[in-house]
Amino acid sequence: MNIEEIRDKSNPFSFSKSVVIVIFLLIFIQSWKDTEMSVVSLIDGWHYMMEYIAGNPEIENSGFFPPNLNSDDLMTYALSMLETIQMAIIALILSIIVAVPLSYMSSRNIINILIPGKSPIHEFTKSVIYGSATFVANVFRSINEIIWALIFVSAVGLGPMAGILALGVHTAGVLSKLLSEGNESIDPGPVEALTTTGAGFIKVLIYAVIPQTMPHFVSMCLYRFESDVRSASILGFVGAGGIGFYLFDKMRAFENGDVCTIIIVIVLTVWGLDKVSAIIRKRFI
């Protein structure tokens, strides 16, 4: 590659890049207009938001500040937050059990290792496996956790189990997509080297694929765990257990001092989990 080609490729104002930028700006402007976004409306309504946060001075505990610091209530919210974390842990494990096989079946390079043939039968089989796995993963992640929770509440009743199943199914779909992208970005060299020696699918997977994808796998699982804790915090709105039950109950009763306390508990928990995740990432990635 000569200097001219390098200069053309690195030019941020080339014709093709300029066209993409213009198209993106047009889409953004049209989307802004269609959704009736307005900075003026936000500025005009800002004082209403401040009044809501401050609360009605004639109604006790209607303001967000000061938060409720009653020791009994704090213990209740802390225990419900612990239940929320436990829900997220179980949901993550269940989702990994489902997502890992799905991610392999929705990765074209992994399917080629599993079915190395090039005949029409082989190609058809690969297409069926890839299409089926992709479709299932899309269905899992396209439906919001709250909708899944409503479905599972109708099956197993109110409580944490419905929330766990809802998180598990949705996260399985998301993880499958994220992990399959990691699978398809691996270096094919080690795979080809093992394949030429006659190694089977399992050996190739263990010695050539998994070592390359493990850092990505750990990172994505930690990311989804943090996301599941946040999502589990609102599944209580539909009776699926966890701290979300208390959050919804207090919001509905306009006991905003308790709402503020619960939000603080959630924020501190997510912050702590983020620090723990950072330590794990530093160790394994």
Residue-wise pLDDT for 137-171, tens only, equals 999 989 888 888 888 888 888 788 888 899 999 99
Task: Give the pLDDT score at 2.
Answer: 57
Residues in the chain: 285
**Cβ burial 52-81 (10 Å sphere, 16+ → b, else e):** eeebeeeeebebbeebbeeeebeeebeebb
Residue 66 within a domain: no
Residue with the bigger pLDDT between 232 and 14: it is 232
Q: Which tokens sit at 127?
A: 């297409």
pLDDT band at residue 285 under the 50/70/90 scheme = low
Q: Which tokens sit at 285?
A: 């990635």
Residue 132 within a domain: yes
Residue 23 within a domain: no
User: How far, in Å, CA of 175 to CA of 96, rounded?
Assistant: 7
Residue 89 within a domain: yes
Q: How many domains does the chain have?
A: 1
- The beta strands (E) that lie in the chain are given as none
Residue 28 within a domain: no
Residue 19 within a domain: no
pLDDT, the chain, mean: 83
Q: Please check whether residue 100 is in contact with residue 179, taking contact to mean a CB–CB distance below 8 angstroms.
A: yes
pLDDT band at residue 1 under the 50/70/90 scheme = low
46-79 tens-digit pLDDT: 888 887 788 777 777 777 788 888 888 889 888 9
Among 21-25, 56-60, 215-219, name the one with the lowest average pLDDT: 56-60
Task: Give the pLDDT score at 169.
Answer: 92
Task: Give the pLDDT score at 72.
Answer: 86
pLDDT band at residue 4 under the 50/70/90 scheme = low
251-271 tens-digit pLDDT: 887 888 888 899 899 889 888
Q: Please check whether residue 125 is in contact with residue 147, taking contact to mean a CB–CB distance below 8 angstroms.
A: no
Instruction: State the number of CA atoms in the 13 A half-sphere of 172 facing the CB.
Output: 26
pLDDT above 90 as % of the chain = 9
Task: Give the pLDDT score at 106.
Answer: 87
Q: Please check whether residue 93 is in contact with residue 172, taking contact to mean a CB–CB distance below 8 angstroms.
A: no
User: How far, in Å, CA of 259 to CA of 236, rounded?
Assistant: 14
- pTM reported for the whole predicted model: 0.80
Residue 201 within a domain: yes
User: How far, in Å, CA of 147 to CA of 231, rounded?
Assistant: 12
pLDDT at 240 over 80: no
Q: Please check whether residue 108 is in contact with residue 130, taking contact to mean a CB–CB distance below 8 angstroms.
A: yes
pLDDT band at residue 172 under the 50/70/90 scheme = very high
Domain that holds residue 209: 72-284
Among 91-95, 153-157, 280-284, name the one with the lowest average pLDDT: 280-284
Residue 198: give its domain's CATH number.
Answer: 1.10.3720.10
Residue 231 within a domain: yes
CA 16 from chain centre, in angstroms, equals: 33
pLDDT band at residue 96 under the 50/70/90 scheme = very high
117-138 tens-digit pLDDT: 778 888 888 888 888 889 999 9
